[in-house]
Amino acid sequence: MNATIYDVSRLSGVSIATVSRTFSNPDRVRDATRQKVFEAAEILHYSPNAIARAMARQRTDKIAFLICKRDATILDEFYARICESIMRRAIRSDRQLVISTAADWAQAAGTAQNKQVEGVILGGSAQADMVSEFQRKHIAVVLVNHRMPGFDIPCVVSDEYGGMRLAVGHLLQRGRRDIAMIAGRISPYITGERYNAFLRVMGEYGLETDARHIRMCDPTVESAAQTALELLGRKDRPAAILGGNDVVAAGVLKAAHRLGLRVPEELSVVGFDDSTVCGMVEPELTSVHIDCRRIGELGVDRLHALLNDEDCPQVTVVPAELRVRGST
Protein backbone atom coordinates (compact mmCIF):
# COMPACT_ATOMS: atom_id res chain seq x y z
CA MET A 1 0.00 0.00 0.00
CA ASN A 2 1.36 3.42 -0.93
CA ALA A 3 2.35 5.76 1.90
CA THR A 4 0.23 8.86 2.42
CA ILE A 5 0.87 12.35 3.73
CA TYR A 6 -0.65 11.20 7.03
CA ASP A 7 2.02 8.48 7.36
CA VAL A 8 4.77 11.04 6.78
CA SER A 9 3.18 13.33 9.35
CA ARG A 10 3.13 10.61 12.01
CA LEU A 11 6.69 9.41 11.35
CA SER A 12 8.23 12.88 11.20
CA GLY A 13 6.23 14.20 14.15
CA VAL A 14 4.99 17.32 12.37
CA SER A 15 1.56 18.39 11.20
CA ILE A 16 0.04 17.49 7.86
CA ALA A 17 0.12 21.17 6.92
CA THR A 18 3.85 21.29 7.58
CA VAL A 19 4.45 18.20 5.44
CA SER A 20 2.46 19.76 2.62
CA ARG A 21 4.34 23.05 2.95
CA THR A 22 7.68 21.22 2.95
CA PHE A 23 6.98 19.82 -0.50
CA SER A 24 5.17 22.83 -1.98
CA ASN A 25 7.26 25.65 -0.49
CA PRO A 26 10.36 24.15 1.15
CA ASP A 27 12.01 27.56 1.61
CA ARG A 28 9.29 28.45 4.13
CA VAL A 29 10.13 25.51 6.39
CA ARG A 30 12.98 25.43 8.91
CA ASP A 31 15.99 23.31 7.93
CA ALA A 32 15.62 20.86 10.81
CA THR A 33 11.91 20.34 10.15
CA ARG A 34 12.47 19.98 6.41
CA GLN A 35 15.11 17.33 7.07
CA LYS A 36 12.71 15.34 9.29
CA VAL A 37 10.00 15.37 6.63
CA PHE A 38 12.36 14.37 3.82
CA GLU A 39 13.84 11.54 5.89
CA ALA A 40 10.38 10.22 6.74
CA ALA A 41 9.32 10.43 3.09
CA GLU A 42 12.43 8.53 2.01
CA ILE A 43 11.86 5.78 4.56
CA LEU A 44 8.21 5.42 3.50
CA HIS A 45 8.97 5.78 -0.24
CA TYR A 46 6.46 8.59 -0.26
CA SER A 47 6.07 10.81 -3.35
CA PRO A 48 3.77 13.85 -3.09
CA ASN A 49 0.86 13.65 -5.47
CA ALA A 50 1.49 15.92 -8.45
CA ILE A 51 -2.13 16.95 -8.76
CA ALA A 52 -2.35 17.83 -5.07
CA ARG A 53 0.84 19.89 -5.34
CA ALA A 54 -0.54 21.71 -8.34
CA MET A 55 -3.83 22.48 -6.57
CA ALA A 56 -1.98 23.82 -3.54
CA ARG A 57 0.17 26.09 -5.70
CA GLN A 58 -2.48 26.88 -8.33
CA ARG A 59 -0.06 25.50 -10.91
CA THR A 60 -0.24 22.47 -13.18
CA ASP A 61 3.44 22.21 -14.17
CA LYS A 62 2.19 21.14 -17.60
CA ILE A 63 3.70 22.59 -20.78
CA ALA A 64 3.23 21.80 -24.45
CA PHE A 65 5.44 21.60 -27.52
CA LEU A 66 3.54 22.27 -30.75
CA ILE A 67 5.05 21.72 -34.20
CA CYS A 68 3.80 24.56 -36.38
CA LYS A 69 4.60 23.29 -39.85
CA ARG A 70 2.31 22.59 -42.77
CA ASP A 71 1.42 18.90 -43.03
CA ALA A 72 3.77 18.19 -40.11
CA THR A 73 3.74 15.09 -37.95
CA ILE A 74 5.53 14.57 -34.66
CA LEU A 75 7.88 12.28 -36.61
CA ASP A 76 9.29 15.21 -38.62
CA GLU A 77 13.04 14.64 -38.22
CA PHE A 78 14.12 18.22 -37.55
CA TYR A 79 11.48 18.87 -34.91
CA ALA A 80 11.78 15.37 -33.49
CA ARG A 81 15.36 16.22 -32.54
CA ILE A 82 14.20 19.43 -30.86
CA CYS A 83 11.35 17.54 -29.20
CA GLU A 84 13.70 14.96 -27.71
CA SER A 85 15.76 17.61 -25.95
CA ILE A 86 12.60 19.39 -24.77
CA MET A 87 11.39 16.11 -23.26
CA ARG A 88 14.66 15.55 -21.42
CA ARG A 89 14.75 19.12 -20.10
CA ALA A 90 11.09 19.01 -19.05
CA ILE A 91 11.62 15.78 -17.10
CA ARG A 92 14.61 17.25 -15.28
CA SER A 93 12.56 20.32 -14.34
CA ASP A 94 9.70 18.10 -13.08
CA ARG A 95 7.22 19.31 -15.69
CA GLN A 96 4.69 17.32 -17.66
CA LEU A 97 4.95 17.69 -21.42
CA VAL A 98 2.23 17.49 -24.07
CA ILE A 99 3.42 17.04 -27.67
CA SER A 100 1.26 17.83 -30.67
CA THR A 101 1.12 19.50 -34.05
CA ALA A 102 -0.50 22.91 -34.19
CA ALA A 103 -3.24 21.54 -36.45
CA ASP A 104 -4.14 18.72 -34.05
CA TRP A 105 -4.03 21.12 -31.10
CA ALA A 106 -6.45 23.50 -32.79
CA GLN A 107 -8.88 20.66 -33.51
CA ALA A 108 -8.77 19.70 -29.81
CA ALA A 109 -9.39 23.29 -28.63
CA GLY A 110 -11.22 23.48 -25.33
CA THR A 111 -10.32 20.00 -24.10
CA ALA A 112 -9.16 19.49 -20.54
CA GLN A 113 -5.64 18.81 -21.78
CA ASN A 114 -5.43 22.22 -23.44
CA LYS A 115 -6.93 24.02 -20.46
CA GLN A 116 -4.34 22.66 -18.05
CA VAL A 117 -1.29 23.93 -19.95
CA GLU A 118 0.65 26.79 -18.36
CA GLY A 119 3.03 27.46 -21.22
CA VAL A 120 3.76 26.42 -24.80
CA ILE A 121 6.83 26.14 -26.99
CA LEU A 122 5.94 26.72 -30.64
CA GLY A 123 8.29 25.20 -33.19
CA GLY A 124 8.25 26.63 -36.71
CA SER A 125 5.82 28.96 -38.43
CA ALA A 126 3.36 29.73 -35.65
CA GLN A 127 0.27 31.64 -36.75
CA ALA A 128 -0.46 35.03 -35.24
CA ASP A 129 -4.02 34.11 -34.24
CA MET A 130 -2.80 31.08 -32.26
CA VAL A 131 -0.18 33.15 -30.44
CA SER A 132 -2.74 35.86 -29.69
CA GLU A 133 -5.13 33.26 -28.28
CA PHE A 134 -2.47 31.88 -25.96
CA GLN A 135 -1.62 35.37 -24.78
CA ARG A 136 -5.28 36.15 -24.21
CA LYS A 137 -5.47 33.13 -21.92
CA HIS A 138 -2.28 34.22 -20.12
CA ILE A 139 -0.40 31.16 -21.32
CA ALA A 140 3.35 31.76 -21.62
CA VAL A 141 4.73 31.39 -25.16
CA VAL A 142 8.25 30.74 -26.46
CA LEU A 143 9.18 30.35 -30.12
CA VAL A 144 11.88 28.03 -31.43
CA ASN A 145 13.24 28.14 -34.99
CA HIS A 146 11.05 31.17 -35.69
CA ARG A 147 10.69 34.89 -35.01
CA MET A 148 7.51 36.95 -35.15
CA PRO A 149 7.84 40.72 -35.61
CA GLY A 150 5.23 42.61 -33.63
CA PHE A 151 5.01 40.05 -30.82
CA ASP A 152 6.86 40.42 -27.53
CA ILE A 153 7.80 36.74 -27.30
CA PRO A 154 11.14 35.13 -26.41
CA CYS A 155 12.54 33.07 -29.27
CA VAL A 156 15.41 30.64 -29.72
CA VAL A 157 16.89 30.43 -33.21
CA SER A 158 19.95 29.08 -34.95
CA ASP A 159 22.64 31.39 -36.31
CA GLU A 160 21.62 31.11 -39.96
CA TYR A 161 23.99 33.89 -41.02
CA GLY A 162 26.92 32.30 -39.18
CA GLY A 163 26.15 28.94 -40.74
CA MET A 164 25.96 30.45 -44.22
CA ARG A 165 29.26 32.24 -43.69
CA LEU A 166 30.92 28.95 -42.74
CA ALA A 167 29.49 27.25 -45.83
CA VAL A 168 30.53 29.94 -48.31
CA GLY A 169 33.95 30.32 -46.68
CA HIS A 170 34.50 26.57 -46.98
CA LEU A 171 33.59 26.61 -50.67
CA LEU A 172 35.98 29.48 -51.30
CA GLN A 173 38.75 27.51 -49.61
CA ARG A 174 37.99 24.75 -52.09
CA GLY A 175 38.45 27.23 -54.93
CA ARG A 176 34.74 27.56 -55.72
CA ARG A 177 33.79 31.18 -56.42
CA ASP A 178 30.82 30.74 -58.75
CA ILE A 179 28.29 29.69 -56.12
CA ALA A 180 24.55 29.20 -56.64
CA MET A 181 21.75 28.70 -54.15
CA ILE A 182 18.56 26.68 -54.42
CA ALA A 183 16.33 27.89 -51.59
CA GLY A 184 13.62 25.40 -50.79
CA ARG A 185 10.25 26.74 -49.67
CA ILE A 186 10.79 25.48 -46.13
CA SER A 187 9.14 28.23 -44.09
CA PRO A 188 8.98 31.99 -44.70
CA TYR A 189 11.32 32.66 -41.79
CA ILE A 190 13.98 30.02 -42.55
CA THR A 191 13.90 30.55 -46.31
CA GLY A 192 14.20 34.31 -45.84
CA GLU A 193 17.00 34.04 -43.28
CA ARG A 194 19.10 31.71 -45.43
CA TYR A 195 18.44 33.60 -48.66
CA ASN A 196 19.35 36.97 -47.14
CA ALA A 197 22.37 35.46 -45.37
CA PHE A 198 23.61 34.10 -48.71
CA LEU A 199 23.37 37.51 -50.39
CA ARG A 200 25.03 39.23 -47.44
CA VAL A 201 27.90 36.76 -47.16
CA MET A 202 28.59 36.77 -50.90
CA GLY A 203 28.76 40.57 -50.75
CA GLU A 204 31.13 40.49 -47.79
CA TYR A 205 33.48 38.26 -49.75
CA GLY A 206 33.29 40.62 -52.71
CA LEU A 207 31.55 38.08 -54.93
CA GLU A 208 28.89 39.00 -57.44
CA THR A 209 25.67 37.07 -57.18
CA ASP A 210 24.23 36.04 -60.52
CA ALA A 211 20.44 36.37 -60.21
CA ARG A 212 20.11 33.38 -62.53
CA HIS A 213 21.94 31.29 -59.95
CA ILE A 214 19.40 31.81 -57.19
CA ARG A 215 16.36 29.58 -57.53
CA MET A 216 13.37 28.48 -55.49
CA CYS A 217 11.87 24.99 -55.36
CA ASP A 218 9.57 22.86 -53.27
CA PRO A 219 11.41 21.13 -50.39
CA THR A 220 11.42 17.72 -52.11
CA VAL A 221 14.22 15.77 -53.76
CA GLU A 222 12.50 15.68 -57.15
CA SER A 223 11.62 19.38 -57.22
CA ALA A 224 15.17 20.27 -56.24
CA ALA A 225 16.57 17.87 -58.85
CA GLN A 226 14.51 19.48 -61.61
CA THR A 227 15.62 22.96 -60.55
CA ALA A 228 19.25 21.85 -60.35
CA LEU A 229 19.05 20.27 -63.82
CA GLU A 230 18.13 23.67 -65.23
CA LEU A 231 21.05 25.34 -63.44
CA LEU A 232 23.59 22.68 -64.30
CA GLY A 233 22.45 22.42 -67.89
CA ARG A 234 23.68 25.95 -68.60
CA LYS A 235 27.03 26.57 -70.30
CA ASP A 236 27.95 28.91 -67.43
CA ARG A 237 26.88 26.44 -64.78
CA PRO A 238 27.91 27.16 -61.18
CA ALA A 239 30.84 25.39 -59.56
CA ALA A 240 28.99 24.93 -56.29
CA ILE A 241 25.38 24.84 -55.12
CA LEU A 242 24.06 25.53 -51.63
CA GLY A 243 20.80 23.74 -50.86
CA GLY A 244 18.20 25.41 -48.62
CA ASN A 245 18.22 22.20 -46.57
CA ASP A 246 19.61 18.69 -46.88
CA VAL A 247 16.65 17.37 -48.88
CA VAL A 248 17.17 20.10 -51.47
CA ALA A 249 20.91 19.36 -51.54
CA ALA A 250 20.14 15.67 -52.07
CA GLY A 251 18.10 16.69 -55.12
CA VAL A 252 21.14 18.58 -56.43
CA LEU A 253 23.26 15.44 -56.06
CA LYS A 254 20.61 13.50 -57.96
CA ALA A 255 20.70 16.02 -60.81
CA ALA A 256 24.50 15.92 -60.92
CA HIS A 257 24.36 12.12 -61.19
CA ARG A 258 21.87 12.32 -64.06
CA LEU A 259 24.16 14.73 -65.93
CA GLY A 260 27.27 12.66 -65.29
CA LEU A 261 28.93 15.40 -63.21
CA ARG A 262 31.47 14.23 -60.66
CA VAL A 263 30.98 15.46 -57.08
CA PRO A 264 33.05 17.12 -55.69
CA GLU A 265 35.53 17.26 -58.60
CA GLU A 266 33.19 19.14 -60.97
CA LEU A 267 30.55 20.34 -58.56
CA SER A 268 30.53 21.00 -54.81
CA VAL A 269 27.27 20.66 -52.87
CA VAL A 270 26.41 21.88 -49.36
CA GLY A 271 23.19 21.37 -47.42
CA PHE A 272 21.65 22.77 -44.24
CA ASP A 273 20.42 21.04 -41.03
CA ASP A 274 22.88 18.10 -40.92
CA SER A 275 20.06 15.56 -41.02
CA THR A 276 20.22 11.79 -41.55
CA VAL A 277 19.97 12.50 -45.29
CA CYS A 278 23.66 13.45 -45.20
CA GLY A 279 24.74 9.88 -44.61
CA MET A 280 22.21 8.34 -47.01
CA VAL A 281 23.57 9.90 -50.21
CA GLU A 282 26.78 9.31 -52.10
CA PRO A 283 29.07 11.10 -51.70
CA GLU A 284 28.01 11.95 -48.16
CA LEU A 285 26.77 15.50 -47.84
CA THR A 286 28.63 18.43 -46.32
CA SER A 287 26.05 20.34 -44.27
CA VAL A 288 25.58 23.17 -41.79
CA HIS A 289 24.79 21.56 -38.45
CA ILE A 290 21.83 23.09 -36.58
CA ASP A 291 22.08 22.34 -32.87
CA CYS A 292 18.51 21.13 -32.31
CA ARG A 293 19.39 19.72 -28.90
CA ARG A 294 20.51 23.11 -27.61
CA ILE A 295 17.56 24.89 -29.22
CA GLY A 296 15.14 22.59 -27.40
CA GLU A 297 16.92 22.93 -24.07
CA LEU A 298 16.98 26.71 -24.25
CA GLY A 299 13.32 26.75 -25.29
CA VAL A 300 12.39 25.01 -22.03
CA ASP A 301 14.72 27.27 -20.03
CA ARG A 302 13.13 30.40 -21.50
CA LEU A 303 9.63 29.08 -20.80
CA HIS A 304 10.65 28.21 -17.24
CA ALA A 305 11.90 31.79 -16.78
CA LEU A 306 8.61 33.23 -18.02
CA LEU A 307 6.56 31.00 -15.73
CA ASN A 308 8.65 32.09 -12.75
CA ASP A 309 8.64 35.81 -13.62
CA GLU A 310 12.39 35.78 -14.19
CA ASP A 311 14.37 37.87 -16.66
CA CYS A 312 14.32 36.32 -20.12
CA PRO A 313 16.24 37.48 -23.23
CA GLN A 314 14.07 38.34 -26.21
CA VAL A 315 16.26 36.55 -28.76
CA THR A 316 18.67 33.68 -28.14
CA VAL A 317 20.91 32.68 -31.05
CA VAL A 318 22.47 29.20 -31.06
CA PRO A 319 25.75 28.88 -33.00
CA ALA A 320 25.87 26.66 -36.10
CA GLU A 321 28.73 24.42 -37.23
CA LEU A 322 29.87 23.03 -40.57
CA ARG A 323 30.17 19.27 -40.93
CA VAL A 324 32.48 18.59 -43.88
CA ARG A 325 31.95 15.39 -45.86
CA GLY A 326 32.54 14.03 -49.34
CA SER A 327 30.32 16.39 -51.36
CA THR A 328 32.85 19.24 -51.10
Supply the CATH number for residue 14's domain.
Answer: 1.10.260.40
326 within domain boundaries: no
**266, part of any domain:** yes
In a shared domain, residues 117 and 143:
yes
- Is 311 a member of any domain? yes
Sheet holding 179-184, edge to edge: 214-217, 179-184, 240-243, 268-273, 286-289, 321-323
Domain check: are 173 and 266 in the same one?
yes
pLDDT cut 90: percent of the chain above it: 58
Mean pLDDT to the nearest integer, 289-300: 96
Q: What would the mean pLDDT of 275-285 be, rounded to a whole number?
A: 96
Among 175-184, 203-212, 244-253, name the one with the lowest average pLDDT.
Answer: 203-212
Together in a domain, 166 and 284: yes
**Interatomic CA distance for residues 258 and 250, integer angstroms:** 13
The answer to whether residues 37 and 94 belong to one domain is no
Q: Is the pLDDT of residue 126 over 70?
A: yes
pLDDT of residue 280: 95
Judged against a pLDDT cut of 50, whether residue 207 lies above it is answered with yes
CA distances from 51 to 56, 59, 117, 151 (A): 9, 9, 13, 33
The contacts of residue 217 (CB under 8 Å, 6+ apart) are: 182, 183, 184, 185, 223, 224, 226, 227, 248, 251
Neighbouring C-alpha atoms within 13 Å toward the C-beta of 50: 6
Domain tally for the chain? Answer: 3
195 and 272 fall within a common domain: yes
pTM of the model: 0.79
- Average confidence score pLDDT of the chain: 89
Phi, psi (degrees; rounded to nearest 5) at 73: -125, 165
Q: What is the pLDDT of residue 93?
A: 78
What pLDDT is stored for residue 168 in this prediction? 97
pLDDT at residue number 149: 84
241 inside domain:
yes
Question: Is position 304 within any domain?
Answer: yes
**Chain centroid offset of residue 77 CA:** 11
Q: What is the pLDDT of residues 29-73, one digit of tens each?
A: 888 898 898 888 888 877 666 555 555 555 667 899 999 987 766
The helix (H) or strand (E) run that includes residue 121 is strand 119-124
pLDDT at res. 123: 94
| Residue 181 belongs to domain spanning | 160-289
Residue 72, in any domain of the structure: yes
Query: Alpha helix locations (H) across the chain?
Result: 5-12, 16-24, 31-44, 50-57, 77-92, 102-107, 112-115, 128-136, 160-173, 188-204, 221-232, 246-259, 292-307
Per-residue confidence (pLDDT) for residue 112, from 0 to 100: 47
232: domain CATH number is 3.40.50.2300
